[in-house]
Structure 1
């Protein structure tokens, strides 16, 4: 089991901003799994909560991955920034997929580069 968090690389966010967006995406998707895929969540939780952070070039690619995750029945989240610091309100910054079985997540994110 793993969770993959996908971040846009075109926004030039600070390291702290990226960390916050990754954390938002991770927590939201974990709760999605907790409520709707409890068996996956429990296995992921009990095995150390494996997370991998990867990047995409822009919003279109990020939204496409999110939609594919949802259509494949995977727990997923999409983060829209509140606009209080570095980005305009509503900017889509990150997506998390899982926790879910490795092979199911890898079908969507296996070809992406690490952040």
Structure 2
């Protein structure tokens, strides 16, 4: 989930997504409409075919994520449309440690069941919402830190309620898959948004 969120941020900060970049118009249209992200799984030859398409690959501790400039859902390249939706379930052998001090945290709702693919998309949404609210200086600092962030499940109803009321960016799901429309799935807690 952390690598997926960092991949979204990397795409947004890529020069090809900037005002005059080759992806700029597609990114602008995507940001002006309902943001959707779709997660698929690829290995071996499928990964090599998907990697040949224009996009950005970000590698984390346990995963590599490739993110592509936005396209309408019904206009996906065949190399991506054929990839599997299932098989993205992940297991952690032990609970993750507490997030490092000062690192942005994307807090997942403690009472919602989401597949790993759904949670990856939601983490990407949350990172994007935080990015939009940051100043240019804060964006550059985050980029220089290689978009360091943590994804954790909120500690319980009390912590979650406080996060949702905090004024920090929240992801309200459209309800296309897995959760009810309007469900708050993630809160983006970036230190620069708390000052």
The 5 Å alignment of 1:63-102 reads 63-68=161-166, 70=167, 76-98=168-190, 100=192
User: Helix, strand or coil for the counterpart of 2:190?
Assistant: strand
Aligned counterparts of 1:26 and 1:99: Cα–Cα separation in 2: 13
Shift of 1:18: 0.6
Aligned counterparts of 1:11 and 1:57: Cα–Cα separation in 2: 13
Shift of 1:95: 0.6
Query: Residue 141 of structure 2 aligns with which residue?
Result: 43
Higher relative contact order (CA 8 A, sep 6+): 1
* Pair 1:94–1:17, CA change in 2 (3 A): same
CA contact (8 A) 2:122 2:185 kept: yes
CA contact (8 A) 1:44 1:50 kept: yes
Aligned counterparts of 1:58 and 1:92: Cα–Cα separation in 2: 14
Structure 2: stretches of 5+ with no match in the other structure? 1-101
1:8 aligns with 2:106: no
CA contact (8 A) 1:66 1:95 kept: yes
More helix by share: 1
2:122 to 2, 15, 21: 21
Shift of 1:99: 5.7
Structure 1: stretches of 5+ with no match in the other structure? 71-75, 106-115
Deviations 1:48-79 (A, max 9, x none): 110101112556632412433x3xxxxx3101
More strand by share: 1
User: Helix, strand or coil for the counterpart of 2:104?
Assistant: strand
Aligned counterparts of 1:52 and 1:60: Cα–Cα separation in 2: 20
* Pair 1:29–1:59, CA change in 2 (3 A): farther
Larger radius of gyration: 2
The number of residues matched between the two structures is 94
Cα root mean square deviation, aligned: 2.5
